[in-house]
Structure 1
Amino acid sequence: MNRSIASGVLSVVGAKVIVLSVTVVTTPLLYRLLGAGGFGEYAFLLSVFAIYMIFVSSGITDGVRKFLAEDRNDPNWSESVVGFYFRLAAALAAVGALGLALAARFDLVAVAFGDELTIYFYALALLVITAQFRDYARKTLMGFGLERYSEPLTVLDKVCFVAVAIPLVSVGFGVMGALAGHLFASALVAITGLLLVHRRLSLSCVRSRSPARFPRKRLLTFNSMSVVLVFLLMSLYHIDIVMLQQFAESESVGNYRAALALAEFLWFVPLALQTVYVHSTSELWSNDRRREISELSSQTTRYTFLLTGVMALGLAALADVVVPLYFGSEAEPAVSPLLLLLPGALGFALARPILAVSQGEGTLRYPVAATGFAAAINVILNASLIPRYGMHGAAVATSVGYATMFVFHCWSARRVGFDPLSDARLGRTVATTLLAAGPIVALATAITNPWLALAIVPPAGLTIYLLFAVLVGALEPGEPFELLALSPDPIGSRADAVLRRLRNAGVAETHGGPTRNWLQNALFVLGLSLLLSGFSLGVLGPALDGLVR
């Protein structure tokens, strides 16, 4: 990963860490204030809105950041792209808002979802306009490579939402108060973002027609394929909630959404990579640097698996502790759906950066086909399992749909022209996760005090996981410092100094782990896993519990 891409990823990750931190605090607060039923209605409305917005904005947001990032000889290329997509965004926002308002006015919403939800769709109609220009402004800034501006806007959006929504919900405005928070935040971010775009490039270009040589057909073709792709992706995110609302009580929908919220915490780094890679790899594709693309993608797959794998293990081991502490005792039914969702969430995390690299190439038929296969499996399984098994059926169906995304997008990547598994060391990363699972789960089981478990298991689990990753060769000792060396100073310079010392000592690279033969190595790490599991269950856990008593 070169420094320019790394700086973009770090900007996005930094913003997502802040947003995630705010979300971690506010999601259980909203759950408690709205109750399981109100939270279920709120989740359902946001799912319907997200699906609806696919047809309003998805082609615009993907298109503007991709085509702005391309190298072009045309001196007016940026002005033409910005103006073209601004006019298209305004037209689609007006049509989209009018469509929702008319659906609410003429009782189409009442027929489809019930009278009690009709009033909310007027608020959603206004949200169409503000959300459209919020996303247009952010993605335009990203297309210019200005993640240092676009990503703080996501933080502003989240903070303003919380500042407005939580007080309104707490004084009795319920779901409408939460929607008002989204309206205020998105309007403020849209205005701020457009002003930042105007500083980079005058928005007077929106009044000028595109020149005759401007490739409108290519942009519109990309837009239409992006709409299809995002629709299929959003069906994976939201079809389970929409279908569950039709077959279960709002309380079940709320608890299932709580489980999804925890599972989706695994995605914050893969989402950052996906956000940056679409426009960053567009430049690599335009210069036909396929080998570099394969190296970038396969390393990303390996690092994503390792990072998301250890997070999934920790969350699974502590699920019965985290869920009631986080959402309250009312949410205890969310534990089992969470455990069912985690394997699929890991697969989806791996698929996200691969999909982004494929999008950067611009030919979307293979990514669309791959996502379509996974979406079809997801819909069929949800339709089959939800009526009989409720939220547990939704969790199984969604987990399988998520997991198949990784399989299908590996096939898609090879058809597009790169190999996301060339240095992924998939077998070794799977072995790392399986070997570390025993000691981590054993430690979480042995510690009965919930607060002590939250304090001890995550750092101990990370240490155990990294130990096995190095032993089996999934991770070289110097690789974490190579990644940190790409960071801005002072972190980058200090990591680079450590990396040089490791290389001078001859331990920065071990070329796949210990030098024993494979059978000796397998027996060694398996024995270590069993030893750590037994030690955690029989000695460490009881000893720690004894200390706090």
Structure 2
Amino acid sequence: MFNLKLSKMMEDVQWSFISLATASLSHLLLRIVLGKELGPSGLGLYTLVFTIYIFGMHFAAFGIGVALTKYLAEYDDDLPRVKGFVSSGLLGSIVSGSMMGVLMYLLSGIIAIQFFHSPEMVDLLKITAFCFPFIAMQKAVIGALNGLRKMKWYAVVNIAQSVSVMTVSIVLVLLLDLGVRGAVIGFVAPTILVGILSLIIIREYFSANSADMNAVLKEVFRFGFYIVIANSIGMINVQIDSLMVGHFMSEIDVGYYAVAIIFVEGLRLIPDSVQRITTPAIANYYGKQKYENIHELMKNSMLKVLAITIFISFTLIVLGQFLIEVLFKEEFLPAYYPLLILLVGYSVYAPILSISGALAGIGKVALMSKLSFICAVMNTILNILLIPKYGITGAAIATSISLIFTASLKLYFIKLYIPKPSAIIWTEGPEKDVLR
């Protein structure tokens, strides 16, 4: 089932890229519409709510999707075991997602008023809470499809989510004039629908063997525990700047900073696509002790991603101000200088991101949690120190420094724990280059 021929690998990368490109484009178009329609303040409020949703989603999913990707890739030739993991993962996702939804609903007032000083955010967070069980199921399905190498269906689910969110949100904001509330409903309602429909895709892997399910569920939750810690702390690394800007400054500043973030997120598109393929591939190679293949895969992936990242960064440096004025409005130009600073950090981080799933692929999830914690603490401290003095520029400086530190730390431990072959034989065989 797990065939690593070049044609299959390239096809998987293409589907992964298409899904992420669609998500990125939908995200960009939606933010452009919201920025022009709602202004910096409305975009800032929406960004804060959506950031909290993204953070809560990682707890709701509880790392189950990543666990399914690893185990299904590792046991790809054992159908009963695959069914056990899929069924257990889905059950676990419903439980963890429901718990997170209840928690978010109960804490919405504290989060909105005590931390962000924004009473209008309370109802928006309560609306958001309803979609957590469904996004958790969707993440479990996506993780299973990734592990099973069904990347076409993986792309279908992601594309359906992205396009439906963009479409419904624009209709509610532009045509029905529902403002920020319409934008929030615009991502909650499609998430619920897509989460339910995604179950149809993997229904053939459902199993009713409760004895096996209980044992596998424990294993999935054990693995997921470390993943959710690592991912959630990792989200702090990625989102703490926006959250701290929201805490220390106004929603208008959040809106400016959101525009800078939108552009640099384009740098994650290629490495994110590649990572979806390298993670299960590394898990498969590692289980078969094919360390030469792992090193070839990582080296070629990083080099290709680095070249593409440098090109995109240079383009944004030259055309950044023009693009901000054309896509948004002239009033969003304060986003340009934070954008330049963020490009430095993301350019260094992107190549490492393309192989950052390697530690999860070889089972070092506890280490991932520790590394994420160290990086998140440093990032948080830097944001607290720099934002009150330098505003959104300080947030960009803190984020870039943290991304560079994170990339260096991850690369060090990936090299440390993946055995280095005594001599790598470079051939023109089908597994030489995932991106060729």
Counterparts of 1:344 and 1:379, CA distance in 2: 16
Asked if structure 2 preserves the Cα contact closer than 8 Å seen for 1:273 and 1:353, the reply is yes
Equivalent positions of 1:325-336 (< 5 A) are 325-336=326-337
Mark the CA change 1:135 to 1:218 in structure 2 (over 3 Å): closer, same or farther. Answer: closer
- Give 1:283 shift: 1.1
Match for 1:277: what amino acid?
A: T
- Give 1:295 shift: 0.9
- Give 1:375 shift: 2.1
From 28, 33, 40, the counterpart of 2:32: 28
Q: Deviations over 1:503-549 (max 9, x none)?
A: xxxxxxxxxxxxxxxxxxxxxxxxxxxxxxxxxxxxxxxxxxxxxxx
Counterparts of 2:62 and 2:322, CA distance in 1: 38
Asked if structure 2 preserves the Cα contact closer than 8 Å seen for 1:61 and 1:135, the reply is yes
Partner of 1:178: 183
- Give 1:365 shift: 3.3
Asked if structure 2 preserves the Cα contact closer than 8 Å seen for 1:83 and 1:208, the reply is no
Equivalent positions of 1:98-109 (< 5 A) are 98-104=102-108, 109=112
**Structure 2 unpaired stretches of 5+:** none
Q: Deviations over 1:72-129 (max 9, x none)?
A: 675510121012111111111221111122224x766433433221111211111212
Asked if structure 2 preserves the Cα contact closer than 8 Å seen for 1:56 and 1:93, the reply is yes
Asked if structure 1 preserves the Cα contact closer than 8 Å seen for 2:260 and 2:338, the reply is yes
Asked if structure 2 preserves the Cα contact closer than 8 Å seen for 1:262 and 1:338, the reply is yes
Q: Number of aligned residue pairs: give it.
A: 423
Asked if structure 2 preserves the Cα contact closer than 8 Å seen for 1:312 and 1:342, the reply is yes
Partner of 1:430: none
Mark the CA change 1:484 to 1:364 in structure 2 (over 3 Å): closer, same or farther. Answer: closer
Partner of 1:17: 21
**Structure 1 unpaired stretches of 5+:** 424-477, 487-549
- Give 1:71 shift: 2.5
- Give 1:213 shift: 9.5
Asked if structure 2 preserves the Cα contact closer than 8 Å seen for 1:63 and 1:219, the reply is yes
From 196, 199, 214, the counterpart of 1:191: 196
- Give 1:45 shift: 0.9
Counterparts of 2:130 and 2:214, CA distance in 1: 36
From 120, 129, 143, the counterpart of 1:116: 120
Partner of 2:238: 237
Mark the CA change 1:328 to 1:180 in structure 2 (over 3 Å): closer, same or farther. Answer: same
- Give 1:14 shift: 2.1
Asked if structure 2 preserves the Cα contact closer than 8 Å seen for 1:366 and 1:415, the reply is no
Match for 1:84: what amino acid?
A: S
Q: Deviations over 1:158-185 (max 9, x none)?
A: 1111221112112321111111111222
Equivalent positions of 1:33-52 (< 5 A) are 33-52=37-56
Mark the CA change 1:103 to 1:372 in structure 2 (over 3 Å): closer, same or farther. Answer: closer
Equivalent positions of 1:252-291 (< 5 A) are 252-291=253-292
- Give 1:361 shift: 0.8
Equivalent positions of 1:429-508 (< 5 A) are none
Asked if structure 2 preserves the Cα contact closer than 8 Å seen for 1:134 and 1:189, the reply is yes
Partner of 1:317: 318
Mark the CA change 1:53 to 1:484 in structure 2 (over 3 Å): closer, same or farther. Answer: closer
Counterparts of 1:294 and 1:91, CA distance in 2: 38
Asked if structure 2 preserves the Cα contact closer than 8 Å seen for 1:371 and 1:409, the reply is no
Counterparts of 1:181 and 1:30, CA distance in 2: 12
- Give 1:59 shift: 1.4
From 57, 75, 78, the counterpart of 1:71: 75
Counterparts of 1:359 and 1:128, CA distance in 2: 24
Counterparts of 2:350 and 2:383, CA distance in 1: 20
Partner of 1:344: 345
Mark the CA change 1:190 to 1:107 in structure 2 (over 3 Å): closer, same or farther. Answer: same
Query: Which fold has the larger relative contact order, with Cα–Cα distance below 8 Å and residues 6 or more apart in sequence?
Result: 2
Q: Deviations over 1:4-51 (max 9, x none)?
A: 333211111122233333334332112111210011111111111222
Partner of 2:355: 354
Asked if structure 2 preserves the Cα contact closer than 8 Å seen for 1:138 and 1:150, the reply is yes
Mark the CA change 1:402 to 1:147 in structure 2 (over 3 Å): closer, same or farther. Answer: same
TM-score in terms of structure 1 length = 0.73
Mark the CA change 1:58 to 1:7 in structure 2 (over 3 Å): closer, same or farther. Answer: farther
Match for 2:199: what amino acid?
A: L
Equivalent positions of 1:96-175 (< 5 A) are 96-104=100-108, 109-113=112-116, 114-170=118-174, 171-175=176-180
Identity %, equivalent residues: 21
| Secondary structure, aligned partner of 2:210 | coil
Counterparts of 1:146 and 1:372, CA distance in 2: 32
Counterparts of 1:418 and 1:36, CA distance in 2: 50
Asked if structure 2 preserves the Cα contact closer than 8 Å seen for 1:297 and 1:419, the reply is no
| Secondary structure, aligned partner of 1:145 | coil
Partner of 1:517: none
| Secondary structure, aligned partner of 2:325 | helix
Asked if structure 2 preserves the Cα contact closer than 8 Å seen for 1:65 and 1:143, the reply is yes
Asked if structure 2 preserves the Cα contact closer than 8 Å seen for 1:68 and 1:143, the reply is yes
Counterparts of 1:191 and 1:485, CA distance in 2: 34
Asked if structure 2 preserves the Cα contact closer than 8 Å seen for 1:336 and 1:392, the reply is yes
Asked if structure 2 preserves the Cα contact closer than 8 Å seen for 1:354 and 1:409, the reply is no
Match status 1:365 vs 2:366: yes
| Secondary structure, aligned partner of 1:115 | coil
Partner of 2:378: 377
Mark the CA change 1:395 to 1:126 in structure 2 (over 3 Å): closer, same or farther. Answer: same
| Secondary structure, aligned partner of 1:354 | coil
Counterparts of 1:7 and 1:160, CA distance in 2: 25
Counterparts of 2:24 and 2:212, CA distance in 1: 43
- Give 1:279 shift: 2.0
- Give 1:273 shift: 1.2
Asked if structure 2 preserves the Cα contact closer than 8 Å seen for 1:367 and 1:412, the reply is no
Partner of 2:228: 227
